Chain A
């Protein structure tokens, strides 16, 4: 029964793909207007950042990014609601421990750099957050039960920070009369940077906590205090 079903799906999907290819061929070959590119690029100077993608992400369509962070938060809350975290991995062997001791600070540093460079070159909150998250994953693999993350209480604040800062700034701007998420020309750069840093921390913590896979356990791990938190705090 499954054999012919998958065959049927195959045929249907390929038919579907042919149609889509034809459509894409027509639309791409037809010389459509410049779409939003020219407009976005012209407005770039007032957006407070020089890199166009970051401008779109954090200024023109800041609302989308806010919601995207909320999606991330929702995913984590969903994972936490499923129950306590499963037991962590046993302490890493010497090779992994050494590598972790090297890789984790490096990841944090490059994350910081990526965050900064986002303003004028490809980079920004998400890439930096991803790196921090990977650092957390490595720590978790290396046997650290809470993937380098602080107590549950702190984790909740960390995770909330990203969306929180964004929303508060938006509301503040609305209160001041500029309109929700409408940055004043002058302060745009610093506001974006502030949002980016908060977002980075939040994304890093969220991804690490998501990898842990459940509500963090109460007890702190017996192993050496990891350098990461204090470095960043």
Chain B
């Protein structure tokens, strides 16, 4: 049964491969540009839907805790399904399916459709491989493929805003990926295995933990690292942003749960840091979300705040290992719920903008309101159930005031949702044909969200902190009333902060670095050039001058004669230099003892030996 796990992510990968341009057909050499954007045939468009089915099947068919080891694949992959994995697989598969239907319908006639489908399937494969794969390599491989493919989704319609968002997304994702890579390398080295279980991770050093937090923080939207999120979501097509918000950013939580010693040992400082970060994200995103004009931007900021909440809970769990079992389950449940609701909201916005028959619009609005309430955690909704799950974590944490802070945040969220509904009401739809199937899928999704509240939740959980929700709604009603009476009351506030808030600062910083670099590099370059020119100018005349007959002088006989005689004199000096051994043996005039010595010396074996051995030092 476990090979469904392999099929879960391999199937979309294969489909993505088939979406590649076929060799012989239209992509030939002739007019590849003249044709209008081709509409994908039905069967090819439906690939995106079929892609998610094996994953969904895997959720049911594969028992929890089973694992499939493939030593030959990649660097020894280990596919398995634990509780967290199962929950993540479930809601991700559902989301990929729902969005898939929307893609199949909506993205058939649009330009570069084939390319979008290919990237969609690739992202799906990456996401699923990541969830199903237990070992480090699969996680990192899935993460990388998903991120790169998501880039293709973000910049699909090629507008300048999309391109800019894509660039920011890519740069930040790459930084995230690189730090994740470093972290995983250290984890592998310190734990010794590529299948780290929480107890192996206990003795992790500070650096890997920091890098994991940083790497996945980019994907999760930890505040200073969240800049790409509000830019990417509005720019991406609706189904893509649904998945970005719903499935892809949740991966960070999965990664943390897998690669941090959750529940094994207490990490007071790292846990505290994460919790504080979560808190900051939670409260930072809400006000900016409120002032956004684009509904998708609002949803983006709501995702950021929700992720902040999850980070807070994870931080608390890290600080207090006792909370781990309940906390982990709650976090994954909350993540699943948020994923589905956020996905639904995005798809709803899509339908709101392009739903075909006019009469469907009220149903769409109704659905959106339901989902908004679910997100805010209104009673009788899955949001309440999920929030109920988090209660023990928040209450049991060391920081007593955290529960109060969260309630304030809940108020903020409900305000945000009200703002969202307000904006949706004012969208003027321009219907397009073929929105029947997406509508149906959306309806099913809403039904699922509603049902999940009753299936999973206990009666007590249905009414978790309904008073704060009520307060929020009343407050929202008052503002809505004020805005309804004179529309330009809030005008100065709306659009005060552009979507990519801190990105505004990016341009000046960018310009600054470029100027600084030029100032540094230019003088260096100039100096180098000067040196090179000086050298060439120096050598040039020397080489270029056709050198005259340098040897004419040498050729004159007197000169040659002097040189030759000079050489003879030098050689004579060299030979006569060592006078003792050159003393003539039988010279009448030389003194006798000198003769005896040299004769004695020569007495031994052949002269060449004696000469060299006796005075090797001299040469």
Contacts and interface: CB of A to CB of B under 8 A. Distances in A.
User: Do A and B interact with each other, yes or no?
Assistant: yes
B160 interface: no
A30 interface: yes
Contacts of A24: none
Contact of A5 (B559, B568, B569): B559
A178 B584 CA distance: 43
B562 A9 contact: yes
A17 to B, nearest CB: 11
A13 B562 contact: no
A229 B587 CA distance: 59
Contact of B568 (A2, A16, A29): A16
Nearest to A15: B569
A8 B562 contact: yes
B39 to A, nearest CB: 93
A38 interface: no
Contacts of B562: 5, 8-9, 12
Nearest to B558: A5
B486 interface: no
Interface string B565-589: 1101100100000000000101110
A13 B565 CA distance: 8
A94 B565 CA distance: 53
Contacts of A26: 584, 587-588
Do most interface residues of chain A lie in helix, strand or loop, or is the interface mixed?
A: helix
Interface in B538-571: 558-559, 561-562, 565-566, 568-569
Contact of A30 (B558, B566, B569, B587): B587
Contacts of B565: 9, 12-13, 16
A40 to B, nearest CB: 24
Nearest to B585: A30
A57 interface: no
B586 A30 contact: yes
Interface in A23-70: 26, 29-30
Contacts of B586: 30
Contacts of B568: 16
Given A8-B562, A9-B561, A12-B565, A19 B572 contact: yes
A2 B584 CA distance: 39
A77 B351 CA distance: 112
Contacts of B561: 9
A9 B586 CA distance: 33
Contacts of A9: 558, 561-562, 565
Interface string B255-295: 00000000000000000000000000000000000000000
B588 A30 contact: yes
Contact of B558 (A6, A15, A19, A29): A6
Contacts of A13: 565
Nearest to B569: A12
A139 B562 CA distance: 44
A15 B584 CA distance: 20
Interface string B585-611: 011100000000000000000000000
B87 to A, nearest CB: 105
A19 B561 CA distance: 18
B517 to A, nearest CB: 63
Nearest to A31: B586
Contacts of B588: 26, 29-30
A26 B588 CA distance: 8
A8 B588 CA distance: 34
Contacts of A16: 565, 568-569
B406 to A, nearest CB: 107
A20 to B, nearest CB: 11
Closest 9 CB pairs of A and B: A12-B565, A5-B558, A9-B561, A30-B586, A8-B562, A26-B587, A9-B562, A26-B584, A5-B562
Interface of A: 2, 5-6, 8-9, 12-13, 15-16, 19, 26, 29-30
